[in-house]
Structure 1
Amino acid sequence: MLEQMGGVSGLVYSTIPVLVFILVNSLFGLGPAIWSALGAAVAITVWRLVRREPLQPAISGFFGVAIAAFFAYRTGSAKGFFLFGIWASLVYGGVFAVSVLVRWPLVGVIWTFLNGHGMLWRTDRKAVRAYSVATLTWVLVFAARYVVQSWLYDEDQTGWLAFARIAMGYPLTAVALVVTVWAVRAAGHRQQDLEAAAEAREAEERAAEARLRAKYGGDQAPEGA
């Protein structure tokens, strides 16, 4: 999952456009800050291409910076650069919370999608519970980011917004990832047990069918056998 986010380097790269935006805005104003942040995002994408690193996180990061720059341009304020991220946290938190309520915890769904392990875990309460705990951890992360950063936005604390964006990125993400790893391992063991039991049942059914065929000496057991 960390690899899908670009790894540790991806987390570092994601802070560069933010730092560039704040620095240039404080020295030269909003317009140059917007273009500088976009330039930094393009430079990161090119750098990843040259180093043959995964481009998907860099491209996603570029579009994120582009949307943030658009909000800053439309609002005419530097704090608008953080508006998209604030509302994104609210939306993500809501979606993750709903997924737990409908018993489709998104951590489990995403992990299954990334690894193709199947959805058999949904039939096991303990596996669902483990993925629900991990999903709720992400809900808390998104909620904390939304509450703190929206308050700073309302207070026009642009510098502190940048600090909160970075400070609430690495530490909270690390905590959520630790819980996610625990959930994946716990649910993975449960799924292995379920798959083994399912294979044993299938083997037993095939053996029973073979015994019936041998007993009646035909390709098909008598009706009702």
Structure 2
Amino acid sequence: MKINKSEIKAELSSIFLNKTFDALLPPLIYTIINSIFGLKTALILAVITAFFNFTKRVLQKDNWKYSLAGLAGVIIAALFAYLSNNAGNYFIPALISSAFLVLAALISILLNKPLAAWASHLSRGWPLDWFWRDDIKPAYREVTIFWTLYFGLRLIIQLRLFFSNAVLNLAWVNLLLGWPAIIAILIISYIYGIWRLNKLGGPGVDEFKNNKKPPWDGQKRGF
């Protein structure tokens, strides 16, 4: 099975890639400014940056809901840091997010309803019954296990740096293990997922929706 680069880029762009810049910029601004000018200036500029991203999306008539969620997240993170007067507390929401993802992934595996399948269903709108087939589900379960290992490792690193009060290192780890690493995880998940679906021999989602009888061509694009 051959997957070309343009296919991967199109898949990522349709889901996450166009949102990466908005997600990375506020914490990057916060980290740099905090190390030079101090906490309050860093918090103000981080919030302004997130507000600018949101305003830009609205004026461009782009999908602004993600930027609004990002703005809310930056404001909450800023409040954690400001009220405690502790720069490291800006990253408490990131710790909570990592812990939630690990917990959600583990529970989904235990319930045999893998998180990767739910994520694909919500982003693509494909029928849930397709994901739960015995010749489809193992691919999503294995990808969910991969996600669990990644988010678990990220949480351990974040907690170690947080409790050692290594604010600058924590900031850079959050940046590097945030969207840049997640994009890599998504690329690996996509390539492996398509390969695994074809090995399982189940129907493609369109074949499933059209009640096509075997033999099936399988899922060729989209995971």
- Fold shared by both chains (TM-score > 0.5): yes
Q: For the Cα contact (< 8 Å) 1:18–1:162, is it kept in 2?
A: yes
Alpha carbons of 1:123 and 1:164: their partners in 2 closer, same or farther (altered >3 Å)? closer
Q: Higher relative contact order by CA 8 Å / sep ≥ 6: 1 or 2?
A: 2
Q: Which residue of 2 is the match for residue 151 of structure 1?
A: 160
Q: Which residue of 2 is the match for residue 206 of structure 1?
A: none
Q: For the Cα contact (< 8 Å) 1:137–1:179, is it kept in 2?
A: no
Structure 1 CA distance for aligned equivalents of residues 142 and 93 of structure 2: 27
The structural deviation recorded for 1:3 is 4.6
Corresponding residue SS for 2:56: helix
Between 1:27-36 and 1:182-191, the stretch displaced more is 182-191
Query: AA paired with 1:14?
Result: A
Query: AA paired with 1:176?
Result: I
Alignment of 1:173-212 (within 5 A): 173-182=182-191, 185=194, 186-187=196-197, 190-192=202-204, 195=208, 198=211, 200=213
Structure 2 CA distance for aligned equivalents of residues 146 and 140 of structure 1: 10
**Greater share of helix:** 1
Unaligned 5+ runs, structure 1: 202-225
Name the TM-score, length of structure 2 as normaliser: 0.78
Q: Which residue of 2 is the match for residue 121 of structure 1?
A: 130
Q: For the Cα contact (< 8 Å) 1:71–1:80, is it kept in 2?
A: yes
Alignment of 1:40-189 (within 5 A): 40-182=49-191, 185=194, 186-187=196-197
Corresponding residue SS for 1:82: helix
Per-residue CA deviations over 1:4-52 (Å, capped at 9, x if unaligned) read 75x4342122121112212222233222221111111001111222333
Query: AA paired with 1:31?
Result: K
Query: AA paired with 2:106?
Result: A
Q: Count matched residues.
A: 200
Per-residue CA deviations over 1:76-114 (Å, capped at 9, x if unaligned) read 200001111012101111101110111111111221233
Aligned-pair RMSD on alpha carbons?
2.6
Structure 2 CA distance for aligned equivalents of residues 13 and 107 of structure 1: 24
Per-residue CA deviations over 1:180-203 (Å, capped at 9, x if unaligned) read 3246535487243873895559xx
Query: AA paired with 1:195?
Result: F
The structural deviation recorded for 1:143 is 1.1
Alpha carbons of 1:127 and 1:76: their partners in 2 closer, same or farther (altered >3 Å)? same
Q: For the Cα contact (< 8 Å) 1:96–1:135, is it kept in 2?
A: yes
